Amino acid sequence: MRYNILLLVINLLLVVCNLFGQRRSPLDISIDFEAYDPPSTLVVPENPVERAKFPFVDVHSHHWGLAEKNLDELIAEMDALNMKVVVNLSGRGGERLKNMIDNIKKYGYEDRIVNFTNIELRSIDEPDWAENTLKQLEYDVSIGARGLKIYKSQGMTHRDNAGNRIRINDDRLDPVWAKCGELGIPVLIHSADPKSFWAPHDSLNERWLELKLRPGRKRNANNPASWEAIIGEQHDMFRKHPNTTFINAHMGWFPNDLGQLAKLLDEIPNMYVEIGAVIAELGRQPRMANWFFEQYQDRVLFGKDSYRPEEYPTYFRVLESADEYFPYYKRYHAFWRMYGLDLPDEILEKLYYKNALKIIPRLKEKMWTSD
Ligand SMILES: [Zn+2]
């Protein structure tokens, strides 16, 4: 009560000041969060990085029209960034994949543009689903697929004939993961979304702006299940298939808890992670991220997800430079500024290509050594 009276007195004083003063007091205006984005006044050395220090493999990309378009333009863009290999995760499988690979071969880029295939999970209850899916995987690998990509719809939206959500660790899917192990191809899997999408959409949510701009991303414990449940199913599936290599997309949604991610990597030796869409999380914790890369340098791959050439330099700058307090390009992912990790060359090389060479079949090491 006394507080309210105090506020009233302050407000009255401000009104009086405004009446007699030349300009409004800055104290009586409020600026909303979306509008408040002042340019930094900090003056420090800036070292933008337009081109990666080492030729790299982007293990998480999506491309359209690969079956028909002229691929010289894509290769020229890749060359400008020093991207040696791009992994298109939208290979789609069967004839559609074949058409893409034929066109890539026609242009002579089969060593530069690599495809992962996809499978259909909604018809899991059809009697011949498992048999057909395994046959498709064998066929896709025989024509050149180098991995399998599982989208986040698995574990989120796919339902079986009984109307139940198909869990990531559903037994009916086991033959698929086992087959990938047999064929020697990795599975890149994206499960769930950032944990903040499950939290209340209020002033305490770091992704408040994203959920405001993209309300369809909001989830709750029953829609479709809790974040912990979906993520837990994924880890369970990794553990069930120790002979299959998994690349957990977006650092498994633990980029903001690298201590926990470290524990998971210790427990699940067949799990790797890639850094697509989470560079702003690394850039806000340069010391912890350096510790993480030092400890897990053999388990992290470079990925970006959305293919926009103009966005890659921000990744390079976070990984390579020692710059301070520079912005990310999407404010709804990160309203904070970032710091360069200044990673040593040995770690950068593993992140950029050496780890990918170990996991993705038939990447040619000589493409690196001949440079
Ligand atoms: Zn993706």
Centre of ligand 1 to C-alpha 60, Å, is 6
160-207 pLDDT, tens per residue?
Answer: 999 999 999 999 999 999 999 999 999 999 999 999 999 999 999 999
Which residues neighbour ligand 1 (ion) by CB within 5 Å? 305
Centre of ligand 1 to C-alpha 301, Å, is 14
Query: Model pTM?
Result: 0.92
319-357 pLDDT, tens per residue?
Answer: 999 999 999 998 889 999 999 999 999 999 999 999 999
Centre of ligand 1 to C-alpha 340, Å, is 24
Centre of ligand 1 to C-alpha 62, Å, is 7
Centre of ligand 1 to C-alpha 189, Å, is 9
Q: Is 299 exposed, middle or buried (0-12, 13-18, 19+ CB in 10 A)?
A: buried
Averaged pLDDT, 264-284? 98
Q: Which regions of the chain does DSSP assign to beta strands (E)?
A: 56-61, 83-88, 113-115, 148-150, 187-189, 246-248, 271-274, 300-301, 326-327, 337-338
Q: Assess whether pLDDT exceeds 70 at residue 18.
A: no
Q: Assess whether pLDDT exceeds 80 at residue 13.
A: no
pLDDT, position 27: 74
Query: What's the mean per-residue pLDDT of the chain?
Result: 94
Centre of ligand 1 to C-alpha 223, Å, is 21
Centre of ligand 1 to C-alpha 249, Å, is 8
Q: Which of 279, 271, 214, 280 is nearest to 248 (CA)?
A: 271
Q: Are 355 and 186 in contact (CB under 8 A)?
A: no
Q: Which CATH topology does 44-369 take?
A: TIM Barrel (3.20.20)
